[in-house]
Structure 1
Amino acid sequence: MLEIRHLAKKFGGLVATNDVSFIVPEGRITALIGPNGAGKTTIFAQISGFHRPDGGDILFQGRSLVGMAPEAICRLGIARTFQIVQPFAGLSVRENIAVGAHLHRAGRRAALDHAEAVAKQVGLAAQLDKPAAALTVAGRKRLELAKALATDPKLLLLDEVMAGLNPAEIDEIIPVIRGIRASGVTILLIEHVMRAVVNLSEHAWVLNNGSLIASGTPAEIAADPQVIEAYLGHGAAQRMQAGTATAGVRHA
């Protein structure tokens, strides 16, 4: 569904993405992970049209997105959430979701009805008439998800939708995301909560310092020495391996 080809982006002397290529198959949940500052959100910004790549191409269902405006990309079927959620505080939950619904629905009644259906899908049905400003962090995360989902995306880009949630709230939102995929929406997610990555994604790509360093199933990348070093620092993989060997000798 989505193909990234040799994507490159610089901000002055900072290389944000460096010759990045990967694919997102239709109908699956794919993860893009890596330490802070790796360039993950910059890739989302390029896919969704907020940043224009300096090189490479972005193909959605065979069509290049490079140079297209964010609203045109959204109309094609790509929606994204943002790390810092900013609901329309003066509007109700229903009205916030309806803003996204208006992309394909000119009538107010139709947009509000769709907003209600989306709210049920993400677990906000009981809070439809609550002011968005009164929502908890978990509620605002669900609202951010609902606003994107209301645009009827074919591909949904989730940028740390579980950041700031406690373990119980994470466990509650995981089946919501599975349900969205089951409804026919392909998902590419950025996430630091590894429990969520393991439970949701079928394949993961790992980014560090703007370059891809690994890919595979969550179990495969968790054991990859390059990934361990990217997250835990130089020599971490060797120390972990030595610790495992020592533990095995003691056990024997």
Structure 2
Amino acid sequence: MSESSLLVLEGVSRSFGGLKAVQNVSLAVREGSLSALIGPNGAGKTTLFALMSGFLKPDAGSVRFAGQDITGREPHRNAALGMTRTFQIVKPFAAQTVRENIAVGAHLHLHGRTEALREAEAVAQRVGLAPQLDKPASDLTVAGRKRLELARALATRPRLLLLDEVLAGLNPQEIAEMMPVVRGIAASGVTVLMIEHVMQAVMNLAEHVWVLAQGQLIAEGSPAQVTSDDRVVEAYLGHGTAARLRKAATGATA
């Protein structure tokens, strides 16, 4: 594995009863990169995020972050080290303001309330929430809540940000507005690994993509490489689909 890798998984596996949710996964996330983990529903992507971040402990294999073995280490310790994740189902503190919600993340490094609230304001600017800082979190739209989840994670000052479907539930315009936010975070020096089903975003944002299916990595490469891989096409669309698509394309150009 390259010395420039910030996160390294080697042979990571996790089962739940008889279900092999993640099987012998090895990958290395390069520091400073913006990459994606994709795959059909039930592929094991969120389980893999949980294994990376300490919410689950692997049955086998190792997880290294910033040169340290963090296999099974508690999430709050990993966050203090610089790895933070978002969640697919967003659950803000509804009775608190947007500013106060973001300040919760800032408290990981800042002990004073005034400092944390000031940090929250700066983070809100980065994700486009500044006009809504004093609004109750319960009043936010779905898109607003997604930005708030992102802001709370950013407030922890991560080196690595794991984004779990930050675009899920958004309409095309909201997706188009969120993509520059994610790109800007990566441009600021934060390494980003995102789980995403919106292929438009993956194609436009990710430099490198890993594809998970039935708990196993089946492909990796650039977005163009993986989306033209027969194994990936069949994982999403079913066995034999790749051959049928090629036959249809040949017939169309004949």
TM-score by length of 2: 0.97
Q: Which amino acid aligns with 1:151?
A: T
1:20 counterpart (18, 22, 25) = 25
Does 1:94 pair with 2:99?
Answer: yes
Task: Give the corresponding residue for 1:123.
Answer: 128
- 1:83-141 deviations in Å (ceiling 9; x for gaps): 00000001000000000000000000100000000000000000000000000000000
Query: In structure 2, what is the Cα distance between the partners aligned to 1:100 and 1:244?
Result: 50
**CA contact under 8 A between 2:97 and 2:133: conserved in structure 1?**
yes
Query: In structure 1, what is the Cα distance between the partners aligned to 2:126 and 2:105?
Result: 15
Q: Secondary structure at the match of 2:248?
A: helix
- 1:55-100 deviations in Å (ceiling 9; x for gaps): 0001101111113111000000000000000000010000000000
Task: Give the corresponding residue for 1:181.
Answer: 186
1:104 counterpart (102, 109, 119) = 109
1:210 deviation in Å? 0.2
Task: Give the corresponding residue for 2:75.
Answer: 70
1:248 deviation in Å? 1.1
TM-score by length of 1: 0.98
Does 1:81 pair with 2:86?
Answer: yes
Q: Which amino acid aligns with 2:139?
A: A
Task: Give the corresponding residue for 2:211.
Answer: 206
Does 1:143 pair with 2:124?
Answer: no
Query: In structure 1, what is the Cα distance between the partners aligned to 2:217 and 2:72?
Result: 24
- 1:162-192 deviations in Å (ceiling 9; x for gaps): 0000000000010001110111100000000
Q: Secondary structure at the match of 1:66?
A: coil
Task: Give the corresponding residue for 1:29.
Answer: 34
2:243 counterpart (222, 238, 243) = 238
**CA contact under 8 A between 2:56 and 2:72: conserved in structure 1?**
no
- Count of residues in Structure 1 that have an aligned counterpart in Structure 2: 249
Query: In structure 2, what is the Cα distance between the partners aligned to 1:192 and 1:182?
Result: 22
Does 1:42 pair with 2:11?
Answer: no
1:6 deviation in Å? 0.4
Query: In structure 1, what is the Cα distance between the partners aligned to 2:188 and 2:116?
Result: 19
Q: Which amino acid aligns with 2:101?
A: N
Unaligned 5+ runs, structure 1: none
Query: In structure 2, what is the Cα distance between the partners aligned to 1:11 and 1:77?
Result: 28
Q: Among the aligned pairs, what percent are the same residue?
A: 61
Query: In structure 1, what is the Cα distance between the partners aligned to 2:161 and 2:72?
Result: 20
**CA contact under 8 A between 2:22 and 2:44: conserved in structure 1?**
yes
Unaligned 5+ runs, structure 2: 1-5
Q: Secondary structure at the match of 2:211?
A: strand
